[in-house]
A and B are shown apart, each in its own frame.
Chain A
Amino acid sequence: MMTTDRHFLERRIREDLSLRRGQLRQERQEEAGSALERWSSEGVRLHWERLEDGSVLARDFHSSWERLRATKSEALESRAFEERLRGWAASAQTRGVELDVLIRLHAQELCAGPVDAPVFDSRRWVQLELRARAQQKSALRELTFGSVEALLAEDLQPAVEEVIARVLLKQTEVAAPQGPMTVVLPSGSDAGVFFHELCGHPLEGDVVIRNASYLARRLGEVVAPDFVTVVDGSLSGPGAVSFAVDDEGEPAREVKLIDHGRVANPLTNRRTAERLGVPSNGHGRRTSYRDTALPRMTHTALRPHRGNAEEILAGVEQGLWVSFLTPRSVHLLEGDFSFQIAEARLIRDGQLGAFVSPAALEGNGLRALGGIEAVGADSAAFFGLKGCGKLDQGGLPVSFGLPTLRISGLNVRPL
């Protein structure tokens, strides 16, 4: 058993600037805390403390604390955004669309690892959410940037026009089809959550130790075509969750969950790695200094293969183009799943048709992985604001990488 004490210090800022129903609001939360983790033959003890100058742990880890405090504190200057945000909303209003905008800054400075050899890391991203509403319908667009400057430098008018056009197109929505059908998930969409739920959670180290998922029970077995490789890692750069070391100070590594169709490796933190008899692959994450590190996902991506959306659609006579999925439930042991289709369009003879009403997308993980017919070369990242929950640690930032993907035989049921 490893017995070296480890500590975790963090300074975390979350700042929201929102324009909702014409009202501009700004909210900033800033918190710093520290945790000391001690392993013994009885188990693990984590003692945490919210840090203020002069608190006990701040004295114990004085130099690390000073370094975190000295880091420049980024902020959202409402003056830099107000005119643009109000301009977008006014432009939407002229077309009968209400546009809400949220800009969220997330900045985290942390220090983790052995007490005598801590590792420092800096994480920051800025997210933009555009939500257009008209006549009971809504459309969402989420974009992620590496810094406030990068957001300010971007021409966002095309994204605003796209979300307005989409909500107007949704006014002619038709009833969702019913029954088994071919489903296409577009590149870089929120539908990337499909692999997060069906490959990521079932291969988290604690789940694998308990042999408690349909993939944990099939390690080494072929479950998907050879061109399907699913990875998880935090080294994908802008537009994705990105960091160099995990929340235990271990170097972050990319892990193959599905390797050329074969169930490959679990995601591990230090503790689950020790139980599995392997080195940690840098997936120990916590939602705050108050929590113990759990094996969690970061950026879960389906590796690109061949072709683009047009080519992948070309073979579909009738199907559904699903661009927005929300998880409803996944039975980890059996692999049975149910997602809510929040946004989808009909496919007829390889062409996109009308938007459809809400529906459920249901199936089984094994059959879905085995039913993958095509994976495009056009991979793109999606980093949503919702985050991932596990046990009582919710809202952990995660992102997805998805090329255009075609799966046959998934069941669609109108809700």
Chain B
Amino acid sequence: MKTPALPRAGFVPEDGFLRPVRETLASFMEGDDAELIVTLEDRLHLEHEPVTGQFTEARGMSAEVHARVWKAGLEGRASLPFSGENLRGALESARRSLEDPGVARGVPSALTPSRPPREKGMERERIVAFSRELGTAVSRRNVPIQALFARQLCRTHVLVRRSGETLVWTEGLEDALLRVETSQGAVVDGVGVPLERAVAEVTPVLERLELARSALESPDRGVPDMALPVVFAPAVSTQWIAAFAPLLRADVAAHTFGAHVGKKLFASCVTLRDDPLEPRGPVARELDDQGAAASKWELVQQGRLQGFLHSDAAGAAPGAYGRAVRQNGTVAPGWSNFFLAPSPTPLTLPEDRLEVCARVETFSPRPRAGRLELLIAGFEVRGGKRTRAFGPLPLEGAALGFLRRIQGVGQDLTFFPTTEGCGAPSVLLASLSPGSNP
């Protein structure tokens, strides 16, 4: 079959595109039901060096076809590059995978009604304008930004069932990273919100970077009093939240936390939420990669474990389903805007405390899920005033241990592209002593 002309991601495909997909399904009579999802992905990466004004840009579009076939309570799946021939090829491969061995899943329920695409599609000019805006803001302050990395991604999925049901949805992701070199190492911060709103975020990002730089460059640095209570700023607390997220995937968690659902594992101020529609998050998706409705789900509610991240309805608690993420053709449970929920009331800060405001970049090739090794820096605060700086200081431990030691949560929720789009507000822990590392 001739390959239909591809529309750009972010726009609703016309009949000329849909007809061959429907015809292929109609002629594929095997199984109880079958579906094809065509995914178009438009991606733009931009690196900007404010010092030289040079841009490095990579942009392109790819398309894949994913097939699912259901037969006698089993489901077969396959993914191939999109082409006219591969529409049929993907269905055949999915049918063959039923035998190898098929996954026990019935035909999903009726499709969620399609909503108009929220994303505008790719706009290089927006991302360039943001970079230039940032360059101007940076030139007004004493923050030597070494590089800016920005990313736009727009994905349109077209799902067609043999029954004729059709669903089209679009999702987008935009974020930007800023890197600052100091004499003690590099600090990276970022903006994890749509860039058109991110211009307003430039000032807080630069303020965070300035604070981190002042801690690292301070001539008055010493060993901190490890017995003091410690406040982790969002740029550091988010690292622990991101390390914990993979442990809550249903396929992983069943073996580790399965017996703890319903139990209170953390302080009541700890609520962990995954919300693909959270407006402050970098991701905006109404449906997951299999077309299931994506919604807010509190995995930990006031310290109590409620459940896990699920890609399929089987075994999932209400609200937990709709978190299918496809990577390299394989679908697995994932997260979109996973965060520690901010407190409704301000965090009461002890007068004497440690403030951890910076994480120095270390070349960590393969961080293990659930564990972190960080280099941190910050200030010792006495009587409410920053007295001297400390760091870089190594800090390592398990994310679970960190969460269990949280005593208070702030209101300053911030998302970071450096942490797979996860977010957190400031958090308060009893101490930073080596014997009780998180």
- Chain A residues with CB under 8 Å of chain B are 25, 29, 31, 33, 35, 42-50, 52-54, 197, 201, 210, 212, 271, 290-292, 326-334, 338, 386, 388-389, 391-392
Contacts and interface: CB of A to CB of B under 8 A. Distances in A.
Most buried by B among A44, A54, A331: A331
A388 B365 contact: yes
Contacts of B58: 35, 46, 48, 290-292
A326 B364 CA distance: 10
Interface in B143-160: 146, 149
A392 B146 CA distance: 17
B184 A201 contact: no
B55 A42 contact: yes
B27 interface: no
B61 A331 contact: no
B185 A333 contact: yes
Please give me the 10 A-B residue pairs with the lowest Cβ-Cβ distance, nearest first.
A48-B60, A43-B55, A329-B362, A50-B62, A46-B58, A43-B54, A330-B363, A329-B364, A333-B185, A44-B56
A25 B59 CA distance: 35
Contacts of A290: 43, 58, 60, 62
Contacts of A48: 58-60
Contacts of B137: none
A332 B392 CA distance: 13
A398 B53 CA distance: 33
B376 to A, nearest CB: 12
A50 B373 contact: no
A331 B57 contact: no
Nearest to A212: B181
A292 B56 contact: yes
Nearest to B375: A331
Contacts of A31: 81
B3 A49 contact: no
B140 interface: no
B61 A197 contact: no
A49 B40 CA distance: 12
Contacts of A35: 58, 60
A210 B181 contact: yes
Interface in B238-265: none
Contacts of B230: none
A328 B373 contact: yes
B363 A332 contact: yes
A54 B2 CA distance: 10
Interface string B56-96: 11111111000000000000000001110000000000000
A333 B366 contact: no
Interface in B357-379: 360-366, 373, 375
Contacts of B366: 326-327, 386, 389
B3 A52 contact: yes
Contacts of B348: none
A197 B328 contact: no
27 contacts: A31-B81, A35-B58, A42-B53, A43-B55, A43-B56, A43-B57, A44-B57, A46-B59, A49-B61, A52-B3, A52-B82, A210-B181, A212-B181, A212-B186, A271-B56, A290-B58, A290-B62, A326-B366, A327-B365, A329-B373, A330-B364, A331-B363, A331-B375, A331-B392, A386-B366, A388-B365, A392-B45
Contacts of B82: 52
A45 B181 contact: no
Nearest to A388: B365
Contact of B364 (A25, A46, A328, A386): A328
Interface residues of B, number: 38
A338 B329 CA distance: 34
Given A50-B63, A210-B181, A29 B329 contact: yes
A334 to B, nearest CB: 7
Contact of B360 (A29, A54, A201, A331): A331
Contacts of B375: 329, 331
Interface in B167-189: 181, 183-186
A333 B186 contact: yes
Nearest to B185: A333
Contacts of A52: 3, 81-83
Nearest to A286: B58
A331 B185 contact: yes
A46 B373 contact: no
A49 B63 CA distance: 10
B56 A330 contact: no
A31 B81 CA distance: 8
Nearest to B60: A48
Contacts of A330: 362-364
Contacts of B363: 197, 201, 327, 329-332
Nearest to B64: A50
B384 to A, nearest CB: 32
B169 to A, nearest CB: 21
B40 to A, nearest CB: 11
Given A44-B57, A49-B60, A330-B364, 18 more contacts: A33-B62, A43-B57, A45-B55, A47-B59, A48-B58, A50-B81, A53-B83, A197-B363, A197-B365, A201-B363, A210-B146, A212-B181, A328-B364, A329-B362, A329-B363, A329-B375, A331-B185, A388-B365
A146 to B, nearest CB: 26
A162 B437 CA distance: 39
Contacts of B100: 25
Interface in B373-431: 373, 375, 392, 394
A235 B82 CA distance: 37
Nearest to B57: A45
Given A29-B328, A50-B81, A52-B81, A333 B55 contact: no
A13 to B, nearest CB: 13
A267 to B, nearest CB: 15
Contacts of A332: 185-186, 361-363
B187 to A, nearest CB: 11
A47 B184 contact: no
Given A290-B43, A329-B364, A333-B184, A42 B54 contact: yes
A338 B373 contact: yes
A50 B9 CA distance: 14
Nearest to B151: A392
A284 B204 CA distance: 36
A389 B328 contact: no
Nearest to A334: B185
A48 B41 CA distance: 12
Contacts of A210: 146, 181
A141 to B, nearest CB: 20
Interface in B181-237: 181, 183-186
A103 B329 CA distance: 20
B373 A47 contact: no
A327 B57 contact: no
Contacts of A333: 183-186
Nearest to B80: A30
Nearest to A49: B60
B363 to A, nearest CB: 4
Most buried by A among B45, B60, B82, B394: B60
Contacts of B186: 212, 332-333
Nearest to A32: B81
Contacts of A327: 363-366
Contacts of B59: 45-48
A389 B57 contact: no
A197 B366 CA distance: 12
A161 to B, nearest CB: 30
A294 to B, nearest CB: 10
Nearest to B56: A44
Contact of A44 (B55, B63, B328, B329): B55
A47 B184 CA distance: 37
Nearest to A196: B365
